[in-house]
Amino acid sequence: MVAELIKGNEIAQAKRNEMKEEVSRLKKEGIVPGLVVIIVGENPASLSYVKGKTKACKQVGIDGKLIELPEETSEEKLLEVIHQYNEDESCHGILVQLPLPDHISETAIIEAISPEKDVDGFHPINIGRMMTGQRAFLPCTPYGIIEMVKAKNITIEGKHVVVIGRSNIVGKPVGQLFLNEHATVTYCHSRTPNMKEIAKQADILVVAVGKMNFIGKDYIKPGAVVIDVGINRKDDGKLTGDVNFEEAEEIAAYLTPVPKGVGPMTITMLLQNTILSAKWSHQVGVH
Ligand code: NAP
């Protein structure tokens, strides 16, 4: 068997094309979706991520604003900036790029963002709403994963989903979203003793560990759907996932590549959340 690739870049592009049309329709009604991205410090990787986010905004017509604050910015000052945009009606989404410098509490910052503008979906209110199946901003990477699986018309209901990794931004919420879609979900993590046996039972295997080639073919049930969230840099500078691609390709039915898999979906869902926020704040599409 040679796995069919789930090409996140193509699915993301199709979604962005639709979003562009939706934004232009909203603009005709006087609604301009606005996203404010705040970065503290000059971490090159973070800078490149935030620039990617504001560039993607422009592509679909969202008003993306980048606020660059110096490394020594105090927590108080950052909270002040967040409060300013919480009050600003032209701003529908606020994203503070993580990680923050050590002297700033990430929890305090995430909780300061209005849940109605928390387009990253990290605020405890949105996490609670997601868990209870209420309307919520869904965290972008997990949301993107569900959308990729749906784009391939893969049935989720009744399937056994095994998630390897339990971080707050990927592992835990992606399992919850699959549960919301009526899958049976099992989590594995660094203290799971019999991971190989559990992984091999998965109809859909999601790997979010952050270790190159961590999952080989002996972890994969023939015909499974394998979602590789990992982003690791090889010695030659190229990106690779957590799954041994060549081995997985031989045994899985569907497989996400790295790069051009889950990654491009993450920013796309951020754009989606910003558009949703603009619509919800103007009561568009609210029933
Ligand atoms: P993280 O916070 O470091 O979490 C890693 C998880 O892997 C933890 O739950 C950890 O278990 C588990 N783990 C570590 N070693 C393990 C082992 N030997 N066996 C089983 N589980 C093990 O990482 P993350 O933020 O979730 O990110 C995971 C990967 O996804 C990274 O490569 C990251 O760059 C990538 N990522 C990609 C995107 C995207 O858009 N494509 C977005 C976010 C993250 P414990 O909890 O027990 O320690």
- Give per-residue pLDDT as tens, 48-93: 999 999 999 999 999 999 999 999 999 999 999 999 999 999 999 9
pLDDT on residue 36:
98
Q: Are residues 76 and 174 in the same domain?
A: no
Residues present in the chain in total: 287
Q: Are residues 256 and 147 in the same domain?
A: yes
Average pLDDT along the chain: 97
First vs last Cα of the chain: how many Å apart? 46
Which residues on neighbouring strands pair with residue 32, listed in sequence order?
none
Q: Are residues 95 and 172 in the same domain?
A: no
pLDDT on residue 181:
98
pLDDT on residue 1:
76
Q: Are residues 107 and 204 in the same domain?
A: no
Question: Closest Cα partner for 38 from 69, 3, 9?
Answer: 69
Does residue 25 belong to any structural domain of this protein?
A: no
Question: Closest Cα partner for 279 from 10, 73, 13, 26?
Answer: 26
By alpha-carbon position, which residue is closest to atom 22 of ligand 1? 190
pLDDT at 11 over 70: yes
Does residue 128 belong to any structural domain of this protein?
A: no
The whole-angstrom separation of Cα 148 and Cα 226 is 12
pLDDT on residue 229:
98
pLDDT at 151 over 90: yes
Question: Cβ neighbours of residue 277 under 8 Å, at least 6 residues apart?
Answer: 33, 92, 93, 116, 117, 119, 137
pTM here?
0.96
> Which H, E and C letters describe the chain, residue by residue?
CCCEECCHHHHHHHHHHHHHHHHHHHHHCCCCCEEEEEEECCCHHHHHHHHHHHHHHHHHCCEEEEEEECCCCCHHHHHHHHHHHHHCCCCCEEEECCCCCCCCCHHHHHHHCCHHHCCCCCCHHHHHHHHCCCCCCCCHHHHHHHHHHHHCCCCCCCCEEEEECCCCCCHHHHHHHHHHCCCEEEEECCCCCCHHHHHCCCCEEEECCCCCCCECHHHCCCCCEEEECCCEECCCCCEECCECHHHHHHHCCEECCCCCCHHHHHHHHHHHHHHHHHHHHCCCCCC
Does residue 183 belong to any structural domain of this protein?
A: yes
If pLDDT is split at 50, 70 and 90, which confidence band does 6 have?
A: very high
* Continuous H helices in 152-213: 171-180, 195-199
As a whole number, mean pLDDT of residues 208-217 equals 98
Residues in contact with ligand 1 (CB, 6 Å cut-off): 141, 164-167, 169-171, 188-191, 195, 208-210, 229-232, 262-263, 266
The one-letter amino acid at 10: E
Does residue 197 belong to any structural domain of this protein?
A: yes
pLDDT digits (tens, 9 = 90+) for 93-138: 999 999 999 999 999 999 999 999 999 999 999 999 999 999 999 9
As a whole number, mean pLDDT of residues 159-170 equals 98
Show the domain range for 94.
31-114
pLDDT on residue 284:
81
Does residue 66 belong to any structural domain of this protein?
A: yes
Q: What is the Å distance from ligand 1's center to 274 Cα? A: 26
Q: How many separate domains does the chain show?
A: 2
Does residue 15 belong to any structural domain of this protein?
A: no
pLDDT on residue 283:
85
Q: What is the Å distance from ligand 1's center to 210 Cα? A: 5
Collapsed DSSP state (helix, strand, coil) of residue 40:
strand
Question: Closest Cα partner for 227 from 238, 215, 218?
Answer: 215
Catalytic residues: 53, 97, 120
pLDDT digits (tens, 9 = 90+) for 250-286: 999 999 999 999 999 999 999 999 999 999 999 887 6
Q: Specify the pairing of strand 225-228 against strand 239-240.
A: unpaired
Q: Write the CATH number for 192.
A: 3.40.50.720
pLDDT on residue 83:
98
Q: What is the Å distance from ligand 1's center to 263 Cα? A: 14
Q: Are residues 256 and 192 in the same domain?
A: yes
Q: Write the CATH number for 35.
A: 3.40.50.10860
286 vs 180, higher pLDDT: 180
pLDDT on residue 287:
52
Q: Are residues 147 and 259 in the same domain?
A: yes
The whole-angstrom separation of Cα 161 and Cα 186 is 6
Asked whether 37 and 50 are in contact (CB, 8 A), the reply is yes
